[in-house]
Copies of this chain bind each other. A is one copy, B any other.
Amino acid sequence: MDGQGDSDETRRGEPARPTLKSIAFMTGLGVTTVSRALKDAPEIGEETRRRVQLVARQVGYRPNRAGVRLRTGKTNVISLVLDTEDDVTGFVSDIIYGISDGIADTSYHLVVTPYSRRKDPMEPIRYVVETGSADGIIISRTTPNDPRVLYLLEHGFPFAAHGRTNMGQAHPFHDFDNEAFGRMAVEALVAKGRRRMALLPPPPALTYHRHMRKGFADALAEAGLQEYSLGDLSIDDSIDTVRDRIAAVAARSGAPDGYVCASGGAAFALVAGLEAAGLALGREVDVVTKQSSKLLRWFRPDLQLVEEDFRLAGRQLALAVMGAIAGKSASELQTIAVPAGGKPSSSRP
């Protein structure tokens, strides 16, 4: 509609969206004044400010994001970088809802930027930073020496990591206390009289593998027990792999009688493997697992569950990135969620 002058109607008869210009016209002020008045700049007169804000509210003024972004570089976007191979258990949706919750009542939008683990994990990060398509990034599957974290720190780009690193540089993160989980899981098994403990851990590349393993190992040591190793098996292996490997292990003599499982999804496979070997939960063997979906509780009542709240994680991550964008120091933007309740619980009375 170039050169059609200051019509306030578009072709289809919708009222044109109000701009600073139209508010300036209505109030008889200059565009600059209106802009400043709306953001409570100090050099605007009290009455003018109120008048402008009243009119703006009346006509439903919403700043044009493209205009702001072009002029200031501020995108009002947070980019969630996701691994699309992930997520057997569907915790991603909870994280998304959590983030949405965290950015509600702010001007931020959430953009989902996917990548495939099998391709280059740096690719989406570089894209966002180079094109400036977001003000901040949320990453997950954090590793101890994460190249994405390094890159983002080097470029001074605001971000928050789901999980910690081990690189000697502070950065915003939210994490679940997997060390505490590992410890309390073992303690619960010990309390049930189990002695031969195995851990089905997260993949070794991820930082929280170490946390969980430490909690697990510490508690074992305290109880004077040895770990029964499952080799390189991890919750990232396919469901069928986990089931078959566990079935094989469980059939041996001296097999574990207590399992700690790092994810709800893998717990299904783990239990299936145990049962394939003829073992019954709560009889020959016990399992403690983190649960993300509520469904696990219906799967086997004898499973010992520790809740991990991914909505909370999403909310915390949102707050952390926004803090980083606002320039807060990293040390203020680090949170760790402790496992709820203190004791794993089963749904068997």
Question: What residues make up the interface of A, taking CB atoms closer than 8 Å to B?
Answer: 12, 14, 17, 60, 62, 64-67, 69-70, 75, 82, 84, 87-94, 96-97, 100-101, 104, 109-114, 130-133, 155-156, 239, 243, 265, 268-269, 271-272, 293-295, 298-299
One of B69, B131, B243, B272 near A62 (C-beta < 8 A): B131
Return the contact of A88 from the options B12, B109, B110, B294 (Cβ within 8 A).
Answer: B294
Q: Can you give 27 contacting A-B residue pairs, CB < 8 Å?
A: A14-B155, A17-B130, A62-B131, A64-B70, A65-B133, A66-B66, A66-B69, A67-B70, A82-B96, A87-B90, A88-B295, A89-B90, A90-B92, A90-B293, A92-B92, A92-B96, A93-B93, A97-B114, A100-B112, A101-B114, A109-B111, A109-B113, A110-B112, A239-B298, A269-B298, A295-B295, A299-B299
Report chain B residues within 8 Å CB of A14. 155
The distance from the CB of A140 to the nearest CB of chain B, in whole angstroms, is 12
Shortest Cβ distance from residue A294 to the other chain B in the assembled complex, whole angstroms? 6
Beyond the given pairs A12-B156, A100-B112, 19 more chain A to chain B contacts, judged by CB atoms under 8 angstroms and listed by A's residue number, are: A17-B132, A60-B130, A62-B130, A64-B70, A65-B133, A82-B97, A84-B97, A84-B100, A84-B101, A87-B93, A88-B294, A90-B94, A91-B93, A96-B96, A243-B298, A268-B299, A269-B298, A272-B298, A295-B295
Q: Please report the C-alpha to C-alpha distance between residue A111 and residue B133 in the assembled complex, in whole angstroms.
A: 12
Closest to A92 in B: B93
| Distance between Cα atoms of A166 and B12 in the complex (Å) | 26
A294 to B272, CA, bound (A): 13
Question: Which chain B residue lies CB-closest to A270?
Answer: B298
What 5 pairs between A and B have smallest CB-CB spacing?
A90-B90, A92-B93, A66-B69, A100-B114, A66-B70
Which residues of B sit under 8 angstroms from A109, Cβ to Cβ? 111, 113, 133
Expressed in whole angstroms, the Cα–Cα distance for A17 and B155 within the complex equals 14
Output the least CB separation between A215 and chain B (Å). Answer: 26
Residues of B near A272 (CB, < 8 A) are: 298
Residues from chain B with Cβ under 8 Å of A70 in the complex: 64, 66-67, 70
Residue of B at shortest CB range from A98? B84
